[in-house]
Structure 1
Amino acid sequence: MTQPTPTHFFIFSLGPVQSFIAQARKAQDLYLGCRMVSDYCRYAALTFVQQGGSILFPEVNSASLTNRFVGTIALENGDTGKNIGNKVADAVQERFAAEGLAVIEAALCGKGLDQIKGLKEQLENHLQTYWIFSPYDEEHYAERYREAERVFGMSKHLRTPKTLAYQGAYGNYAGFEQGFLGETGRKCIVDGERNVKVYRWSEQDIEQYKTVGALLRNKLFLCREEVVLVGKSGQADEGAFVEINNVPPKFIQDGEGLSAVSLFKRCYKPDEVEGAVEDKSQWEALYNKPDFWEAKYSAKRYLQEIELPTTAKTALLDTLNRMESEAAANGLDNVRAKFKVLDELVKNARPEDFGKRYPNYRAEDEELYFDDNHTESYFKKYNFDVGKLEEISKAHKKFKAALPNTDDCKAALHPYYALVALDIDGLGKHLQKVDKAGHVETARYLHQFAEEVTKLVEGGSKGRVLHAGGDDFLLMLNLHGLFELLEHIQTEWNKLDTGLTYSTSIIMAHYKSPLTRAVQTTKAELKAVKARFDKEGKDGIACCFMAKSGAVSTSYFKQDKLNLLRQLFQALQRGDYSPQFIFQFASNMETLGLGGETDANEQEQLRNYALRELKRLLLRARDSSRVKSPKEEMDFDGQFSDLLFEQLREGRTHFDLPNFLQFLKMAELAAKHTNLWP
């Protein structure tokens, strides 16, 4: 009797992920980096399906995916498994290198890149793939899956990292193999790891270095055959050179030097299907076409259709939506009329021949709505028409002066936006305890939750979903209605009744703050809040404010206190209470010298005193014309009491009053930087 072919688990992941996504100088880099990870994971998963496998987790027809998937497949022997694993890994690696070249050539208007030393090597050496096969048993599913995860975890430590060695700069030194130290030269301004492969001359470069040779020797530290220069005719007479008028600043700005990987990410066009995203057959049909990605970059305006997010636009989203919507602007006709004048000037702020010079360019010029950018140097640096500067500045002043500033309606051009990360708590441990049906069910409800989050964010014009798949989500949101939106997301999660929780990290950042730092802070605070509430089942929130100066303040609290934060924020925004009570409370508490180790009785005394003092100051800060009777007051007492009880750290022996004060300040800062509409 013939024995059935044994089934095995297949676990596959690609990387790097966190560092690759965080290496972003523009929101365009961040958004497209997230989309690349999703697309390449889906491509790997469906390549595995073509080899006869089936996917357990996640659902590959989701708009966003994690960087890994779990599947099963019947294997005759180890050699068969090795061949399948290598086919999946090679397919992803080969696509990345080939598509990267296609993207860069399209961005540089078809310029041949064969002579650029090291460019292909950067693309070929970027992706890291890990995969394992492990025995599968339906009856002992959870146990076998845990074994597979242990094997997969060990496999990551057995891989020797690749080293770029094409230069061979140290080949003449005894004790060093050729290229042992990797690339030598100026590093990419985005990733900081790889050498610059494409550099765009700036006016400052022309004045300072005069010649290509001087630029290469004194700034780039590279040979002529190692870099593509983007500049004006006559600046270079040999090597790879691209006319500057053919490369839009959306791809690379003056004075920027990018590696092949960073330029690929910035110019990447996400995979798309003609039918519904949820239709798996549509994705399979797309990926069955050889070199399907080439068609994405054949059109002259291949990034024209994609509405890419910007931090400036996200910060202004509420104001722009209100001004552009006739229904929403009811009663604001005068303001809206002045906005239309300014908006028309901003849309035409580029030189008259700009569209002809950069036919691929889709302008994202929302930064001109902020008057700190109305300078001659800014206009020159970012290719705006200096002759239109004065007219734009005058229109901006008129619009700004017309914005309402009454007790019931306050609006401004606020420069802060929010970066929000959600991460499912303990998902890995959960998956190691359930059977196959539980695995599939988990994939289903995570897919459903991702769809609901996308509807709430993008359907309500609240911002953009950068990533929503697997166990983590990354959102770029406007501050208006931020806490209310997060409560709606929380409600949708609770409807699924999964028995799991999620942790949240919120960063309110200035639109000019370095995006890489904002992303890194978001991820770091997510880890911090999980660690802080680890013994209480996690389910926490880290709320941070990153000032333009770079200073960061943070408050940690449980998810059930989000409602209190929203209520306090709305009360301060409406002017029901003066925010002065927060600073007075902080000053009064500081004089007591609260800190150090305390026992349970002392903690109770401190909480009671803080609560009484807070209640007294709230009564004094109340606007009697808006809150006329105690019945109309918000029930802060009980909620603040619960929040104060949570302010314990270091083995529950220290009363963390600063964290409580930061909670109050988060509400005040959010209210300060959002609009109040009638």
Structure 2
Amino acid sequence: MTSYLYVLSIGPVQDFIAAARRTRDLWFGSNLLSEISKAAAKKIDEEGGHLIFPNLEKEKLVTSSYPDSSNVANIILAELNLPNGKDPADLNEQAKAAAQGEWEKYAKGAKILAKNLSEGFVDENIWNEQINDVLEFYSAWVPMPQKKEDYQKARKRLMGLLAGRKSTRNFLQAKGHAFIPKSSLDGARESVILKDDELPKELALKMRLQAGEQLCAVGLTKRLGGKRADEMAEGEKTVLEAFPSVVRVAMDPWIRGVKQSGDETMMVLDNIKRICKSNGNIASGTGEHYPDFPFDGQVLHLSRITSMIKAYEEVHNRKKGWNVYLSEPDIKDLAAIRNLVLRLQKKGDEKSKEKFFGLGEPERYYAILVADGDRMGKVISTRETPEEHRFFSARLARFAEIARKVVEKHNGCMVYSGGDDVLAFLPLDTCLYAARRLHYAFGTLLSNFQDDNGKSPTLSVGIAIGHSMEPLEDLLKFGRDAEKAAKAGKSIIDERDGLAVHLYPRSGTPIKIREKWRPKGKAGLDERLLAWAEMHCNDELPDSAAYDMHELAEDYKEWDVSSEEKKKERRDLIDAYTKQLFKFAEMHCIDDLPDDVSRENAVRDVRELAEYCYKNWGVSSEEKKKELEHLIAADAARLLKRKKSSSKSKEDLKKDKIERLLMGVDSYETVSRLANEIILARRLANTMRQAKGNTYAKSQILEEAS
């Protein structure tokens, strides 16, 4: 028996995950890459390999089309125990064949569905070329050392070989096709769609193709995939596994608010739900997510309903996208939904025969959460045996399971959770709670693992907040930028273990805030944002507070006490000013004095002012620096306390909150950050208000009942 340490990397990540226009593209691509990697890992396990990463129970290695099955990373590390004379290259080829086979089963399933709905929809020649040239495999192996202490050296050498193998990639000659449009997802491959302008209604509505959108084999599989070919019956028209849209994620607080507002508002929403359930054309589903309203949220936006009706009126132009395939009954259903939505969102008048509830328009902003473990490489390098790595891998698998539950508990949708990587969509009112819970779970599970400096792994979390109508690929980039910012710091001491929250308004400059995680109850960034948001909800902060705070920061911008150059510049200005005052005083150049003020008293006052300025306006001493810090903090507190509450108890409570939240606010930078926090918190407060429902609806019901 001969032992080897073996690694296999499967890609491309860009094609399967990053290239996405719809949430289903992103989710299914992530899930598909995980299932492909799982098939390879299962084959290695069956053929004499002992898996290290991932370390899952055998039943969890079974590939599954179930959307919430366990995710695994696309890098597999294993110990191979092979009979003497057997080449590890043979097992490597078997693992690659298993991965390729899994990919082809899903791709064939998507093509069969398209064929059943529209014969000749897919270009067979281009399809076959692309199917065989999608997956990328990079592998390496080294002899397994006999001594345990040599295991880490072997692993480092193995990963070095893998890096070298990736840098010597095999490139096949490109097979371009003239006059064939490229895929709209990434522009890398030609489209396999032959007749996008003559789609049958069912296929057009299933694919939700936008005007002019093109898909390659990978894109089509992500859009229509869900079942493997060997799971499909002859002529089956598969019901696609649904995934919530970003519009539905964003409006979840509003829907929860409808539920909180009483039985009558929920009855109206149930009527909308019944229409959507009976007519699958006007709103795609959300799968097992969001049972209160398991449909795409666009039918709850009046502007989107108007857009769909308008598309029907322009039915002569088939290039307008999937909306033009709606029928007259579909439009009647949309009109009925529009009337119901109006009742929920608008306030009625005395002439209204139906009850209106005034819940307002649903939220349009949502959060993308991207999390990644810190110091993972260093911790892995300190493990000295395969058994230690397997135990570490099992803990990561456990975290992935917990992460999925945390996101779902906070009304979010998990896109990918494998090892220390997390990608999820969340409503604004729950994203910070989910982030802290994930950070705590990760730190707790891995607290017994340390690097050479005795530090355990931590989780850096980036949250990007953006509008649901912005391109998904942009928000994904923003989410990854936030995750990178969470890991970065102003110094070595400050880096990693961070939380970054970035807000991207539709107009204006993005707001980016980052801070290291603090223990619960220590007024960390997440707790401060939630506290400011709560104060907004309780009307304890004026709406203009954030912008007033920005103006306050600008007032102190030049009061820089940290730079010697600034200190000298300010001292020179003070010297010039005081000398001028002395000159005016000596020359008695004071005109237009009031009748009751003598020239002698005025001169004396000017001289005293000049002497005070000269003695006390210096900024070079630590004492003056502390005085400046105190002035900034006092000004910030004064500004926030300016709006009075209705009761003394509330005023006292607000004062305590403000004093706790203003800790550390003592410079231009910290005041600017505080202003940004309050602006960001106001966005969170909008969703928090919506989630509580509307007292207008409840009071109207109580009034009629009385």
Same fold per superposition (TM over 0.5): yes
Match runs of 1:464-479 below 5 Å = 464-479=413-428
By how many angstroms is 1:263 displaced? 0.5
Name stretches of at least 5 consecutive residues in structure 2 with no aligned partner. Answer: 61-68, 286-292, 314-320, 349-357, 449-455, 519-523, 565-621, 694-706
Contact persistence 1:122–1:164 (CA under 8 A): no
Q: 1:631 to 1:526 in 2, by over 3 A?
A: closer
By how many angstroms is 1:247 displaced? 1.5
Decide which of 472, 484, 488 is 2:437's aligned counterpart: 488
Decide which of 170, 191, 195 is 2:190's aligned counterpart: 195
Decide which of 195, 205, 219 is 1:262's aligned counterpart: 219
The one-letter amino acid of 2:26's match is L
- In 2: Cα distance, 1:570 partner to 1:297 partner: 54
Deviations 1:392-435 (Å, cap 9, x if unpaired)? 333221111269xxxxx977511122110110012122112212
Deviations 1:585-633 (Å, cap 9, x if unpaired)? 1012123335989449698676544422221112113534385343564
* 1:337 correspondence with 2:267: yes
- In 1: Cα distance, 2:42 partner to 2:420 partner: 20
For 1:148, what is the secondary structure of its paired residue? helix
- In 2: Cα distance, 1:629 partner to 1:585 partner: 20
Deviates more, 1:306-315 or 1:487-496: 487-496
Contact persistence 2:504–2:511 (CA under 8 A): yes
By how many angstroms is 1:550 displaced? 8.7
Q: 1:468 to 1:413 in 2, by over 3 A?
A: same
- In 1: Cα distance, 2:136 partner to 2:99 partner: 10
The one-letter amino acid of 2:407's match is V
- In 2: Cα distance, 1:523 partner to 1:669 partner: 21
Match of 1:672 in 2: 686
Match of 2:248 in 1: 313
- In 2: Cα distance, 1:490 partner to 1:544 partner: 18
* 1:118 correspondence with 2:126: yes
Match of 1:127 in 2: 135
Q: 1:78 to 1:163 in 2, by over 3 A?
A: farther
Contact persistence 1:196–1:258 (CA under 8 A): yes
By how many angstroms is 1:641 displaced? 2.9
Decide which of 676, 682, 687 is 1:662's aligned counterpart: 676
Q: For the pair shown, which has the larger CA radius of gyration, 1 or 2? A: 2
- In 1: Cα distance, 2:508 partner to 2:90 partner: 50
Deviations 1:471-510 (Å, cap 9, x if unpaired)? 2101111222322232233332333225211111111222
- In 2: Cα distance, 1:549 partner to 1:629 partner: 35
Match of 1:146 in 2: 156
* 1:516 correspondence with 2:512: no
- In 2: Cα distance, 1:319 partner to 1:636 partner: 29
By how many angstroms is 1:321 displaced? 4.3
TM-score normalized by the length of structure 2: 0.73
Q: 1:81 to 1:659 in 2, by over 3 A?
A: farther
Name stretches of at least 5 consecutive residues in structure 1 with no aligned partner. Answer: 170-183, 199-227, 233-242, 271-291, 356-361, 404-408, 648-653
The one-letter amino acid of 1:73's match is L
For 1:139, what is the secondary structure of its paired residue? helix
- In 2: Cα distance, 1:439 partner to 1:480 partner: 38
Match of 2:451 in 1: none
- In 2: Cα distance, 1:31 partner to 1:299 partner: 26
By how many angstroms is 1:518 displaced? 0.8
- In 1: Cα distance, 2:402 partner to 2:294 partner: 30
The one-letter amino acid of 2:681's match is A
Decide which of 496, 499, 513 is 1:538's aligned counterpart: 496
The one-letter amino acid of 2:133's match is N
The one-letter amino acid of 1:333's match is D
For 2:422, what is the secondary structure of its paired residue? strand
Contact persistence 1:311–1:511 (CA under 8 A): yes
Match of 1:211 in 2: none
Deviations 1:537-562 (Å, cap 9, x if unpaired)? 41112211223459633211222222
For 2:183, what is the secondary structure of its paired residue? coil
- In 2: Cα distance, 1:615 partner to 1:503 partner: 31
Deviations 1:70-112 (Å, cap 9, x if unpaired)? 1111356797022222221233234424531332222231746
Q: 1:661 to 1:14 in 2, by over 3 A?
A: farther
Decide which of 526, 531, 534 is 1:567's aligned counterpart: 531
- In 2: Cα distance, 1:671 partner to 1:20 partner: 35
Match of 1:433 in 2: 382
Match of 2:36 in 1: 40
Deviates more, 1:257-266 or 1:628-637: 628-637
Deviates more, 1:535-544 or 1:313-322: 313-322
Match of 1:555 in 2: 513
By how many angstroms is 1:132 displaced? 0.8
* 1:617 correspondence with 2:639: yes
Match of 2:369 in 1: 420
Decide which of 73, 93, 97 is 1:86's aligned counterpart: 93
Match of 2:336 in 1: 391
- In 2: Cα distance, 1:440 partner to 1:34 partner: 24
Match of 2:24 in 1: 28
Deviates more, 1:292-301 or 1:245-254: 292-301
Match runs of 1:562-601 below 5 Å = 562-594=526-558, 598-599=562-563
Contact persistence 1:96–1:124 (CA under 8 A): no
- In 2: Cα distance, 1:94 partner to 1:596 partner: 65
By how many angstroms is 1:26 displaced? 0.8
Match of 2:310 in 1: 377
By how many angstroms is 1:369 displaced? 0.2
Q: 1:303 to 1:350 in 2, by over 3 A?
A: closer
Contact persistence 2:21–2:471 (CA under 8 A): yes
Contact persistence 2:399–2:419 (CA under 8 A): no
TM-score normalized by the length of structure 1: 0.76
By how many angstroms is 1:257 displaced? 1.6
The one-letter amino acid of 2:142's match is S
Match runs of 1:203-214 below 5 Å = none
Deviates more, 1:334-343 or 1:17-26: 334-343
The one-letter amino acid of 1:8's match is Y
- In 2: Cα distance, 1:603 partner to 1:15 partner: 56
Q: 1:574 to 1:67 in 2, by over 3 A?
A: farther
Contact persistence 1:512–1:548 (CA under 8 A): no
Identity of aligned residues (%): 20
- In 2: Cα distance, 1:412 partner to 1:252 partner: 25
